[in-house]
Amino acid sequence: MHIYYYYLMSLSLFFFCFRTRAHPSLDRSISTESNPLPHTHASTSLFFCSFRFGCFSCFGRVLCRFGLIAFVLFFIYILYHLEKRTNRKKKQKRKTSWFLFFFLFLKRIHTSTKLFDPSVTHCLLLPLVRGCITFSFRERKKKMSAAAAAAATATPPKKPYMKVAKIHTNKFTHAATASAALKFRVIPVATLEDNYAYIIIDPKSGAIAVVDPAEPDKLQTVLKREGLDQSKISHVLVTHHHWDHSQGNEGMVSLLTPPGTVTVVGGEADPVPAVTKKVKHGDTFQIGTGLNVSVIHTPCHTRGHVLFCVSLVSAAAAGGSGSGSGDGKTTDSKTGAAATPSTPPSALFTGDTLFTGGCGRFFEGVASEMLSNMYDRISTPLRGDTLIFSGHEYSSSNLRFAVHCEPDNKAASDKHVWALAQDELDECTQPSTLDEERSYNPFMRVHLPALQKLTGKTDRVDVMDALRNLKNNFK
């Protein structure tokens, strides 16, 4: 494209800059009061010289000037279309004005050589040059003024935790129905692209705890929608230090009045932002007067990753958290007898350790640690009706992998079909139950021959490691 510019500029130089002394008759014909150019400067382009030899009259001079104007306009027309084509191809706005450059070029030639008639220069070129320059400066000043006004009225930039995010789900019918058995409210809040935060409400005192509040503004909106007083927030529970779970800690604290009235809880081995209470495995504390929280340390995804098992104080005192033998049977943790239906289940907030049909990546740990987490710290000690609230909406992809691992597992295929239907309805898939996870989650079934055959391993640690590698590369 640039070769055309070179051709056109060469032609202009040839037509406008190739000076030739005019014929005496031509000089006599143009040396008038309206064109008082001396004989030594009466020169014009070769092109127009040949035209003017045959036009000695006033009419000829007018035609010649019109021809010059026509040539200039034609040149502008060519430059305009070349610029448009260049803009379309590059899909960006050119910062150089070829028109302004052209007029400045002609003005420079006239200033140095007195090539053009004064009438042409003052009537055509100079007004256009001045117009282009004035227009350019006016536009620039206008843009600068608009930018300054916008900067003055713009709101301050959002903090990192206020990042604009896509709402990946808007309906929580399943969550509300499944959570009814808890006897206390758990409200999921969709944050970022596929994260979940949770609001936990103590039925006795009305105290509120929030889990992994990555976007405090969204939690604040949900609290207002549900008619809840945000000043009742007493705890912020953070499962691990990754930004998509902990970036809103400072923002959550700043929302409360007076500040410092909230306890930010995080694992002692994790660098959780704004943490005020570091906990370890086996620690317990209360939310208000009605909810008991037990801490389960599950190192692997991060070194200090913790789970929060929340239950009613009465249920916890009566052994309502229960235990599981790993075969799906629910037993009372004190007596070993079957747990009575009247004892409410617990809610387990698993962050990025346990998902519906899957587990978290081994970022800061090894397979043996995840195996211990799944069997020794989750599946065995907890009741089968424990509700699992995970930190991400990964259900469909995890269950597709579960079906791939065990094609004949009806529980996995049924749950996968259900999860796909939930996705179509824009519905949250949380929570699941521990009994359900035991029936289809491959990372809780590494002791089974089907998974050992799939991985070609027999040791459970090796099976866990092989399954995680398969899932990392599963499309």
Where in the sequence numbering do the catalytic residues fall?
A: 240, 242, 244-245, 301, 352, 392
What is the DSSP secondary-structure string of 194-256? TEEEEEEE-TTT--EEEE--S-HHHHHHHHHHTT--GGGEEEEE-S---HHHHTTHHHHHHHS
For 344, phi then psi, to 5°, come to -65, 150
Dihedral, CA of residue 168, residue 170, residue 176 and residue 179, to nearest 10: 20
Backbone angles phi, psi at 197, to 5 degrees: -105, 165
Q: Which residues contact 63 (CB under 8 A, 6 or more apart)?
A: 51, 55
Is 35 exposed, middle or buried (CB count within 10 Å of its CB: 0-12, 13-18, 19+)? middle
* Bridge partners, residue 432, by sequence: 388
Structural tokens at position 98: 């070829």
Dihedral angle over CA of 437, 443, 449, 452, nearest 10: 160
- Neighbour count for residue 370 (Cβ, 10 Å): 27
- Give 3-state DSSP helix, strand, coil % of the chain, rounded to 5: 50, 15, 35
Structure tokens at 408: 């004949």
CA distances from 220 to 188, 248, 255, 256 (A): 13, 12, 8, 10
Q: Residue 409's closest CA among 457, 374, 375, 444?
A: 444
Instruction: Collect contacts of 274-281 with beta carbons under 8 A, ≥24 apart.
Output: 274/249, 274/250, 275/238, 275/249, 279/306, 281/306, 281/377
Buried b (16+ CB within 10 A) or exposed e, 300-336: bbbbbbbbbbbbbbebbebbbbbbbeeeeebbbbeee
Residue-wise DSSP of 405-462: H-TT-HHHHHHHHHHHHHHHTTB----EEHHHHHHH-GGG-TTSHHHHHHHT--SHHH
Whether the Cβ atoms of residue 313 and residue 289 lie closer than 8 Å to each other: yes
What count of Cα atoms within 13 Å lies in the side-chain half-sphere of residue 410?
Answer: 0
